[in-house]
Amino acid sequence: MTTKAELFCDSRCELGEGPFWHPLKQRIFWFDILNRTLLSADAAGHVVDRITFQDTVSFAGVIDEHQLAVTQSHMLMRYDFRTDAQTPIVPIEADIKTNRTNDSRVDRAGNFWIGTMSRTAEQGAGAVYHYRRGAVQKIIADITIPNAICFSPDGRWAYFTDAGAMIRKCALDPETGTPIGAWQDFFASTEGLGWADGAVTDSEGFVWSARWGGGKVLRISPDGKLDRVIEVPVSNVSCPAFGGKDMKTLFLTTAREHLTPEQLEEQPTAGSLYAVEVDVPGLPEPMLTL
């Protein structure tokens, strides 16, 4: 089955990323990494929030109705909607000024997996960190562009990719969210359909993989087989997130970064937020345990 995503919010971010549905505010949030901005939109696709940070920001975990934990370059940072206060929680690569955060996600046990990379995508300059109740541990080293971080519904598997078409998987301790085995070299490879960017799992454990350069999002079965393709009318699809009252709306961030003037003329709404209704719901993102 192939369907097509439609424009939801004409935001035209330079590098749209990190979408998440806030269950307590009932809004979709997403980032423009390069413009250091967090946006949100209501059910009609109208922008509600446009919050600017001091450095690049990429993902967030919900703490409660009023607070987020935001992956800003060099730190995990607390943001408070009531006061607009931005305060550090823990440093992340504070000594590597050439790096920034990228793909990240809260696991089923309430811990934050935080990916980093070089601002110029230098090979092997990044890593993935595991934040759990105040402690930070590096769990994947020598990463170029961390992406596709997501987790099975039971919290027993993590998925990940490093700047490629192939997605890997690793067994987890579901109580702590920490890896208990080696990363398997192969979960799913979809050559010719764009690079594997951000990903999320649905309630049946299928992985939805955004495809940078491919203009698509793929639904991949738990055994690594391609199940469904959804076309997106822009090239650079960066990350999916489930939301809406029934969790059956799949939101998709996109990007204008690296598109030529000719491509931008053909794709004027590149960088905007897209959406498609699906038949299998997603899962609410877990709240972050500080």
Q: What's the whole-number mean pLDDT along residues 163-171?
A: 90
Q: What's the whole-number mean pLDDT along residues 264-289?
A: 97
Query: Is 95 noted as a catalytic residue in this protein?
Result: no
pLDDT digits (tens, 9 = 90+) for 23-47: 999 999 999 999 999 999 999 999 9
Q: Which residues contact 268 (CB under 8 A, 6 or more apart)?
A: none
Choosing from 197, 202, 227, 279, which is the catalytic residue?
Answer: 197
Which of 173, 168, 162 lies closest to 207 in space, CA to CA? 168
Q: What pLDDT was estimated at residue 2?
A: 66
Which of 99, 33, 22, 121 lies closest to 65 in space, CA to CA? 22
- Compute φ and ψ for 265, nearest 5 degrees: -65, -35
pLDDT band at 75 (very low <50, low <70, confident <90, very high): very high
Residue 110 and residue 131: Cα distance in Å, rounded? 9
Q: What's the whole-number mean pLDDT along residues 68-89?
A: 98
Window from 50-64, 163-177, 211-225 with minimum mean pLDDT: 163-177
286 domain-assigned: no
pLDDT at 154 over 90: yes
pLDDT digits (tens, 9 = 90+) for 218-275: 999 999 999 999 999 999 999 999 999 999 999 999 999 999 999 999 999 999 999 9
273 CB burial (10 A radius; 0-12, 13-18, 19+): buried
108 domain-assigned: yes
287 domain-assigned: no
Q: Which residues contact 12 (CB under 8 A, 6 or more apart)?
A: 256, 269, 270, 271, 272
284 domain-assigned: no
CATH of the domain at 59: 2.120.10.30
pLDDT digits (tens, 9 = 90+) for 140-149: 999 999 999 9
Q: What pLDDT was estimated at residue 182?
A: 85
195 domain-assigned: yes
Percent residues over pLDDT 70 in the chain: 99
Write the DSSP symbol of residue 16. E
Helix (H, G, I), strand (E, B) or coil at 260: coil
pLDDT band at 1 (very low <50, low <70, confident <90, very high): low
pLDDT at 64 over 90: yes
290 domain-assigned: no
Domain total in the chain: 1
> What is the value of pTM for the model shown?
0.97
288 domain-assigned: no
pLDDT digits (tens, 9 = 90+) for 101-137: 999 999 999 999 999 999 999 999 999 999 999 999 9
Residue 47: domain span:
2-277
pLDDT digits (tens, 9 = 90+) for 184-220: 867 888 778 899 999 999 999 999 999 999 999 999 9
Which of 101, 15, 40, 66 lies closest to 243 in space, CA to CA? 40
212 domain-assigned: yes
For residue 146 the two structure tokens come to 């961390």
